[in-house]
Amino acid sequence: MAHQRTNLIGLSREELARLAAAGATPLRAKQLWHWMYYRGVTDFAAMTTLSKRLRATLADRFVIARPEVRQALVSKDRSCKWLLRFADGNEVETVFIPEEDRGALCISTQVGCTLTCPFCRTGTQRLVRNLAAGEIVGQMMVARDACAEWPSPEGGRMLSNIVLMGMGEPLFNYEAVATALRIIMDGEGIAVSKRRITLSTSGVVPMIRRCGAELGVNLAVSLHAVSDELRDELVPINRKYPIAELLAACREYPGAGNTRRITFEYVMLKGVNDSPADARALTRLVRGIPAKFNLIPFNPWPGAVYQCSPPGAMKRFSRILNDAGYAAPIRAPRGRDIMAACGQLRSQSMRVRAAEASMAC
């Protein structure tokens, strides 16, 4: 039965090789990797470079499974949101944000979040559990299936970028995130370069160092406030790792330079953090860090107590940062109509029958 077989998705190359070495099966790790992650095959029978006998043995013991797509929604602006269900019934949401000729996949790393940033809908959801590496990679596999991007295209990919900005705090699930990213970055498989991957953190300072040293992906930091007093409230992990410590970790982040800046995310909350004085203080705070800003208009959700800053206030804020030499685009909200925009994800909210799910990217 399927649930008794091991899912190969999410095993690192080393783990696959170990399975082979332990004689569990005459596994050919390199070929399997190619079929699973370069070609996207889910059926051992299609692995024509392996003998028929080996294919049958593999099918007996293993599966190459995706999370179940419980629902697929498409926004007016063409963003897609998938509600995905794992074997134990837990669910997360994954969002694809297409541009003209490329696009970013926004991946979740936890079911819910242990942190409770009061402007974020995910923060209202109790953490159920961390995702396993295979469940993180599985989100990419589902998106690749939907966009028909198998085998891994050389160039011209719609699924060109990955942002770890979905549900959860990626640096609280570091081991699984690291294994998943190594699989996704592997040049003989999915092959998304580390330069096209951005990990967003609320500021888990010790893990920022490990992330930089071991993975080298782009870093985005959810700053959202210029004083510890306000940040303690908006991003409660600040009480443990205050702004000065966070910025020190950013200053040391390897690879950060003029061509590879650290992104500071700043949610625009009306009357809370959006004054010209805040903008000027922000420029002083990040001085010396190769930085750019991402101004995120607050995305509303049922029960939220905040409001989005008015367009004029956001433009003024952006201009002050620009005048100080920083890129600071106001991010156009995407997928608001399907509750797919930043901070709107929450998995328990929707439970639909599998029959209603339709892939539509």
Give the residue numbers marked as catalytic: 93, 342
Contact between 135 and ligand SAH (CB under 6 A)? Answer: no
Contact between 340 and ligand SF4 (CB under 6 A)? Answer: no
Stretch that binds ligand SAH, among 58-66, 181-189, 194-202, 317-325 (CB under 6 A): 194-202
Contact between 149 and ligand SF4 (CB under 6 A)? Answer: no
Binder of ligand SAH out of 63, 72, 147, 267 (CB under 6 A): 267
Q: What is the largest CA-CA distance in the chain?
A: 70
- Rounded Cα distance between 352 and 349, Å, is 10
Angle at CA of residue 54, ends 48 and 55, nearest 5°: 50
List Cβ neighbours of 25 (8 Å cut-off, separation of 6 or more). Answer: 19, 57, 58, 61, 62
Contact between 119 and ligand SAH (CB under 6 A)? Answer: yes
Residue 94 contact partner, candidates ligand SF4, ligand SAH, none, CB within 5 to 8 A by sort of partner: none
Tell me the pairing of strands 218-222 and 197-201.
parallel
Contact between 122 and ligand SF4 (CB under 6 A)? Answer: yes
* Measured CA distances, 279 to 56, 238, 249, 259 (Å): 62, 19, 21, 23
Binder of ligand SAH out of 94, 130, 179, 200 (CB under 6 A): 200
Closest to ligand SF4 by CB, 253 or 301: 301
14 φ, ψ to 5°? -65, -40
Binder of ligand SAH out of 104, 120, 159, 177 (CB under 6 A): 120
Name the residues that contact ligand SF4, by CB under 6 A: 113, 115-117, 120, 122-123, 168-169, 202, 222
> Which spans of this chain sit near ligand SAH (rule: CB under 6 A)?
117, 119-120, 165, 169, 200-202, 222, 265, 267, 296, 298-299, 342-343
